[in-house]
Amino acid sequence: MEYLKPNKIYFGRSEAKMLEIEPSSVALSFWSPPYFVGKNYEREETFETWQSSLRQVIHNHSQVLKPGGFMVINLADILCFKDEYMPKIQALNISNQKCKVTREMVLTAREQHPDYNRYQLAELLGCSEQTIDRRLNGNNIRGGKYQTQTRVKLVGNYLEKYAYEVGIYLYDKRVWIKDPSWVNSQWTSNTLKAVSEYEDLYIFWKPGEYIIDRRKLTKDEWKSWGSRGVWYINSVRANNDHEAKFPEELATRVIRLFSEVGDLVLDPFIGSGTTAISAMKQERNYIGIDKESKYVELAKKHIGESSSWQKELNFT
């Protein structure tokens, strides 16, 4: 069998394509899978197919990771997971109320006039019929009445379960603090929910000896981030050519910590090519895979631009 060659980007689903990688050859796999939050490249996925894909990709690592190798997954919990069994959320946002009519006033009026409908009650109290409806039935009764409610869905337990099934163990965990994602957290003005501003890094280990070399980082680097559980790195400012980029600094830290010069680094969801570019800059080899042909071409383009820039820099 002819194995995938290093330092190339491949088109295909990693569930199958990873089986073409030479067994026990990957020192580090760093990737950020689809988050199941409605991106264009997730449009055909259900929660069940999303889980199935994650499970198979993780299972494939038992074959491609070398003993002592690491698999680092960057993933956030699903903050708006649709749950048809969840009760309707009712939140009374007093600061946004423009009408002084309260629920108690409506109840009193209805008790005094039991034959009145909401339009008559509205005329009596000098407000709109929507206000009567909202005060009686809850804040979300208009607009969200027929929409499925959402809740938080924790995803780390799925990763842990799938890895344990094939003898890969959760070794460590870090938190990436990025700048607040206000565009994805518009609910914060009308609820008590927090703004999304961090993601998780799950660090898995395949049993075997690995190298600890304190010379890989400076003393200041070990102190500021190498041995720290929380990393402060600004997110990508413009996702103009890919919907979900992570910053190169994130990939660089992972690659420097969990691999050595000359090692092979894998990204089974290569996207815009960030992991490959960082691996190349840190003198590692890489393999990238993506199921979207446009992102395969995008990654190749970015890698080519980075290679040209490096050659020019070295020349000058």
Which residue has 């050595």 as its token pair?
260
Pairing of strands 169-177, 230-232: parallel
Taking a C-beta distance cutoff of 8 angstroms, is the pair 179, 37 a contact?
A: no
CA dist 157 and 163 (Å) reads 10
Pairing of strands 26-31, 8-11: unpaired
Cβ atoms < 10 Å from Cβ of 278: 25
Residues 6+ apart with CB under 8 A from 124: 109, 113, 116
Residue 163: which of 55, 270, 264, 236 has the closest Cα? 55
CA dist 136 and 125 (Å) reads 14
CA dist 227 and 250 (Å) reads 15
pLDDT score at 312: 46
Q: What is the pLDDT along the chain (316 residues), one digit of tens a residue?
A: 899 999 999 999 999 999 999 999 999 999 999 866 555 655 677 889 889 999 999 999 999 999 999 999 999 998 888 888 888 766 666 666 667 888 899 999 999 999 999 899 999 989 888 888 878 876 544 445 567 888 899 999 999 999 999 999 999 999 999 987 655 555 555 677 788 889 999 999 999 999 999 999 999 999 999 999 999 999 876 666 556 678 999 999 999 999 999 999 999 999 989 999 999 999 999 999 999 999 999 999 999 988 754 554 443 3
CATH of 8-77+154-315, one of 3.40.190.10, 3.20.20.120, 3.40.50.150, 3.90.550.10: 3.40.50.150
Taking a C-beta distance cutoff of 8 angstroms, is the pair 297, 267 a contact?
A: no
CA dist 247 and 84 (Å) reads 35
Q: What is the dihedral of CA 126, 95, 188, 79, to 10 degrees?
A: -60
Taking a C-beta distance cutoff of 8 angstroms, is the pair 208, 66 a contact?
A: yes
Taking a C-beta distance cutoff of 8 angstroms, is the pair 273, 300 a contact?
A: yes
Taking a C-beta distance cutoff of 8 angstroms, is the pair 130, 23 a contact?
A: no
Q: What is the DSSP string of 149-175?
A: PEEEE--HHHHHHHHHTTT-EEEEEEE
Residue 17: which of 270, 218, 297 has the closest Cα? 270
CA dist 244 and 254 (Å) reads 18
Give the domain ranges of the chain.
8-77+154-315, 94-137
CA dist 271 and 299 (Å) reads 7
pLDDT score at 190: 62
Taking a C-beta distance cutoff of 8 angstroms, is the pair 73, 31 a contact?
A: yes
Three-class DSSP category at 79: strand
